[in-house]
Amino acid sequence: MKIDLHTHTHRSGDSTTTYEEYIEAFQSSNLDKVAVTDHLTIEGALNLRERLGDTIIIGQEFRVKEGELIGLFIEKKIPPGLDARTASKMIRDQGGLVYVPHPGDQGRTSLTYETLFMLANEKMIDIIEIGNSRWSPNGFNQKAQSIATKTSVSTGAGSDSHVETAIGSSYCDLGDAPWNDSSQFLLALSGASLTIDWFDPPRKWKSRIVPSSH
The domain total for the chain is 1
Q: Among 211, 116, 122, 118, which residue's Cα sits nearest to residue 155?
A: 116
Burial 42-54 (b: 16+ CB within 10 A, else e): bbbbebbbeebee
What are the pLDDT digits (tens) for 65-123?
A: 999 999 999 999 999 999 999 999 999 999 999 999 999 999 999 999 999 999 999 99
Domain-located, residue 66:
yes
For the entire predicted model, the pTM comes to 0.94
- Residue at 207 is within a domain: no
Integer Cα distance of 158 and 29 in angstroms: 14
Q: Is residue 156 part of a domain?
A: yes
Task: Decide if 107 is inside a domain.
Answer: yes
CATH number for the domain including 110? 3.20.20.140
Per-residue pLDDT of the chain (214 residues; tens, 9 = 90+): 999 999 999 999 899 899 999 999 999 999 999 999 999 999 999 999 999 999 999 999 999 999 999 999 999 999 999 999 999 999 999 999 999 999 999 999 999 999 999 999 999 999 999 999 999 778 999 999 999 999 999 999 999 999 999 999 999 999 999 999 999 999 999 999 999 999 888 777 665 555 544 4
What number of CA atoms fall less than 13 Å from residue 211's CA on the CB side? 2
